[in-house]
Structure formats: structure tokens, C-alpha cells
Amino acid sequence: MSGYEGLGADLTQLGFRIKEKVFRNVGIPTCVGIAPTKTLAKYCNHLAKHYAGLKGVCNWLDLTPQRQAKALACEPVSEIWGVGRRYTEHLGKMGIRTALDLARADAEAIRDRFGITLSMTVRELQGTSCIPLELVKPKRQQIMRSRSFSQLVCDKDDLLGAITFHAQECGRTLRHEGMVAHTVGIVLHTNPFRRQDVQQHAYPCVGLPYPISDTNTIIHYARRLLNQTYRRDCLYKRAGVYVGEVVPKGSVTKDLFEETETEQQQIICELMDSINTRYGKNTLCFAASKLGKDAWEMSRARLSPGYTTCWKDLPRIGPLLMETVPF
């Protein structure tokens, strides 16, 4: 027994009511995917968007096992939530080209090759829920900002540019959410798929003498960690910064004998935030964040269109949907 017996038709009707209510109240057409796991629900949503015969709602529980297999077989593995271009390339070399191929893969073998995240995706496609539903957003314990580079980076100054950029983002997020952090750490990753290269996957971290949200202090400690961790013989694919033990600023008890952020530090950061909010992100920034930007900046060639924020990205209306449902 799955626990979903008898709910299929009711959930489908609920999906149509949600779809109609969103359009009535917000004016945006939406599609609804329903399934026992988050990954399958995302996939059902994808199917609902692309096959007009589903009328905008796809309920996995309405499909027989045979139809479920056909539904997975009709789309490439790249359409699965969390399977990006690189994963698609490496899975293709293993003969895994469709969503059905991934669903039938051995989860343990996938974990050994790619790690636990993709292994959880396989289990979710098989109907085992691995990603919990969060009805209430959990309190932050850590804020991390990191990105993969458009090309491999070996120069320390280029890495410093990336680290400074991400440190700025961590500081801005802390202040925006009214939080302070007790630790600062950095992320340095080489490319695990280039097995001929020297590998390093480092997450060094340092405790702070007092809780902070000041960008300059975050950069100071992140730079120190970079100097301690950087290796000349490594080609880095990813870098980032994280701040941990995050708590609301108002919950920190001040100690008469403990150093704290100065009022001047707070004023400078708030001024930077207000300028960047008014005139655009990174209008005012630390100079080091520009170091080697051409080398480490993330490639935007595959950037998703901003359908709701950019006029030029709006799609042209045409015969975009397939009337016939192939499963």
C-alpha cells in the first residue's frame, strides 16, 4: 500500500482548482504536477507544460505503471530536476539518456560515481521520497554563495576576485535578513571529472571573535583562509564563501569586555547596500572583486530566460504544445 490509494481523482481536481484560482487571482497561466515525490512532481509539471492534452495538470497517480514508464521514456534525462548539462554528458556515456533510463539505474552505483544528491534523484524517480516537504521555511544556520567558473582557474589573484565577490553577497544577505554570523569559511573545488588533475575539495572555516555582518570583516577572514588553502598545482572549477552559526542580530547578548562591530562599520555597509539597491547590484563594490573577473565569472551562455522580469525574454506565441499525449 502506498498510502495514496483512492486519492488520484481528488488530487487531479484539486490541481485544476489551484490552476484556475491562480489564473483568476494573479492572471498568470500555470501548470500543476502531482506525484508522491518532489522530483516526480517537478517532472509531471514539465509534462503538463508541454502536452496540451493534459490540460495543464499531470497526476502521476492517474497513470498505470505502463503509462508511467512511457512518460519517463518520452523525455531526455536532462529534463529531470537537478540533472544539468555536465551530468547529462556523463550519464550519456553510461547509456543513461532518458528519464526512464535514470529511473531504472542502480541508486548505489550512481551514488558511488556521482554522489548522494543524484542517488536521491534516482530513488525519487523510483517513488521513494528523499527530499522532505518544508511547509515552514527552516531557520538559516548558514549562508553560502558559490559558483562554478566558465573556465579553470589557477591564479590566486583570480580566486581572490571570486572570493571577494561572494563575500560581498554573504554580507549583503546577512544585513538584508537582519542576521549576524559567528564563523566564516570558503569553498575551493577542482573538477572531479578531470581525474588527471590534482584534486582539492576544501571547506576551511574560522570562528570569529564576535558576531558580524560587516562585509570587510568577512573578506578579511576569507582572504586569510584562501592564503592558507590555495595550492599552485590545482586547477580550480569552483569557489565560494559561507558564513555559519547565523543568528538574528537582536538575539546577541552584548558583553562589556567583548569587541563588537563598530557603528562606523555598520554605517558604511548600510550606505553601500542603499546605493546598490537604488542604482543596481554591485554599483559600489570592493575593488578586489574585479580581479580576474573574465577568468572566474560564470558563463551566462545557458542562462534561463527571465520570462517574468525581462520583456525581450518573453516567448513568441505559437504552436508550442503537443496536442497528443504520447503515454
- pLDDT cut 70: percent of the chain above it: 84
Domain count, the chain: 1
Q: Is 86 part of any domain?
A: no
Helix (H) or strand (E) holding 32: strand 32-34
Domain containing 231 — which CATH number?
3.30.1490.100
CA distances from 326 to 52, 59, 69 (A): 11, 15, 11
Identify the pLDDT of residue 280. 82
Q: Is 44 part of any domain?
A: no
Identify the pLDDT of residue 163. 94
| DSSP letter, residue 29 | -
Q: Is 235 part of any domain?
A: yes
Global pTM exceeds 0.95: no
The arithmetic mean of pLDDT across residues 250-272, rounded, is 70
Nearest to residue 208, comparing CAs of 221, 219, 225?
221
Residue 170 has pLDDT above 80, yes or no: yes
For the stretch 104-159, pLDDT in tens is 999 999 999 988 999 999 999 999 999 887 766 666 788 999 988 888 999 999 99
Q: Is 283 part of any domain?
A: yes
CA dihedral for 264, 265, 267, 271, sign (positive or negative): positive
Higher pLDDT, 271 or 314: 271
Mean pLDDT of the chain: 86
Q: Is 327 part of any domain?
A: no
Q: Is 83 part of any domain?
A: no
CA distances from 311 to 252, 308, 315 (A): 44, 8, 9
Q: Is 46 part of any domain?
A: no
What lies within 8 Å, CB to CB, of 207 at 6+ separation is: 182, 183
Measured between alpha carbons, how far is 308 from 327 in angstroms, rounded to an integer? 31
What lies within 8 Å, CB to CB, of 324 at 6+ separation is: 51, 53
For the stretch 179-238, pLDDT in tens is 899 999 999 999 988 889 999 999 999 998 888 889 999 999 999 999 999 999 999 999
Give residue 149's domain range: 142-251+258-296
Identify the pLDDT of residue 321. 62
Higher pLDDT, 90 or 291: 90
Q: Is 147 in contact with 242 (CB distance < 8 Å)?
A: no
Q: Is 7 part of any domain?
A: no
Confidence of residue 272 (pLDDT cuts 50, 70, 90): confident
